[in-house]
Amino acid sequence: MTDNIDELERKLSKIKQTKPRRLVMDVLRDAEKPLSAVQILAEIEKTGEQIWLSTIYRILDLFVEKDIAIKSTLLDQDQAVYGLNQYQHTHYAVCIGCHRIITMDNCPIACDSFEPSLREDGFRITGHKIELYGYCSECDKKR
Amino acid sequence: MTDNIDELERKLSKIKQTKPRRLVMDVLRDAEKPLSAVQILAEIEKTGEQIWLSTIYRILDLFVEKDIAIKSTLLDQDQAVYGLNQYQHTHYAVCIGCHRIITMDNCPIACDSFEPSLREDGFRITGHKIELYGYCSECDKKR
DNA sequence: ATATAAATGCAAATGGTTCGCATTTGCATT
DNA sequence: AATGCAAATGCGAACCATTTGCATTTATAT
């Protein structure tokens, strides 16, 4: 379902290589957490390179289409975030206070034989998303 | 964590009763699935009543603040959806093809003693969201 | 080396959501 | 039942993430 680095390289080799695509890819490779388009722009600008936001969106759409990246919309965030599709499904906890994203290293669905009970027949499941929410230690203190 | 009807009534009694709020509440009560602001508007207009979209958003914000409703942003949808906070946590499956939302009647987290392994200490979990994605039988056929 | 289709730079449009302000409404008090 | 006041709403405009259109540039196959 998810890929290792070689698998990513194989997918990348199937699309045209351009400088903007390399820039976005480099940022995603280095990121430990999914990033928004604006965050990716900021990372690229830090290196002195220039790129347009619409180009980033187009590249991210392509990456998602080619299964290179995964797009998510986390709790109450008003923008989408993107991460490489290289981890065995990773999930996150989101702080309601500061919107910090914290990586979760395990998954409740992977470890047992969960059978979803859906109100419609014949749904073919291709993936899942789990999000915990609550307060990080810092925001918890402030309340 | 979630509430029954009486608990909702108790929360409602603490806020000023107005016609627009009643209209939105009526729609949410009848809905089997979470609805977007625009869908709520459409339902209200079907009854011949008139209401402004910005009013709906303000009412929904209030309902969320008062724990009367829950706001979610489902996979790849570009708008938020809202549902009453009356079910013992309900999760959904979302069709990648037609964006149909299908209710899931069980939950993988409720049934076992899952201990999340987070990369940050002291996170206080207040809730969670689980979403399956894939293709509904109809969209699956088309592929 | 060149042709061609695809990608990008840039600006303008779009669509969901929020904000500002004048008017109206619900409710507490008389 | 009438009054006053804070809060809610109607309405339009603003906002912000994302998308689109088009002229120009670029990567790759020939």
pLDDT of residue A1: 47
Q: Which of B89, B95, B83, B100 is nearest to B130 (CA)?
A: B89
pLDDT of residue A103: 87
Residue A109: partners with Cβ closer than 8 Å, 6 or more residues away: A128, A130, B108, B130
pLDDT tens-place string over residues B3-47: 566 788 899 999 999 999 999 999 999 998 889 999 999 999 999
For tokens 């900021």, the residue is A42
Rounded Cα distance, B71 and B82, in Å: 5
pLDDT averaged over every residue in chain A: 86
Q: Cα angle at B7 between B1 and B10, to 5 degrees?
A: 135
pLDDT of residue B2: 47
pLDDT band at B139 (very low <50, low <70, confident <90, very high): confident
Q: Which nucleotides of C are covered by protein (CB under 7 A)?
A: 6-12, 15-20, 25-27
Gap from B42 CA to D12 C1', Å? 21
Q: Which nucleotides of D are covered by protein (CB under 7 A)?
A: 7-13, 16-21, 26-28
Asked if A106 and B93 come within 8 Å (Cβ–Cβ), the reply is no
CATH architecture group of domain A5-141: Orthogonal Bundle (1.10)
Give every residue of chain A whose pLDDT is below 50, as ranges.
Answer: 1-2
Rounded Cα distance, A64 and B71, in Å: 25
pLDDT of residue A117: 86
| Residue A48 distance to chain B (closest CA, Å) | 31
Residues A57/A61/A62/A63 CA torsion (nearest 10 deg): 100
DSSP string, A25-55: HHHHHH-SS-B-HHHHHHHHHHTT----HHH
CATH of domain B5-142: 1.10.10.10
Rounded Cα distance, B102 and B134, in Å: 11
Rounded Cα distance, A98 and A43, in Å: 21
Assess A65–B contact: CB distance below 8 Å, yes or no: no
Closest residue in B to A127 (Cα) is B133
pLDDT tens-place string over residues B53-104: 999 999 999 999 998 998 888 766 788 999 998 755 678 888 877 888 888 8
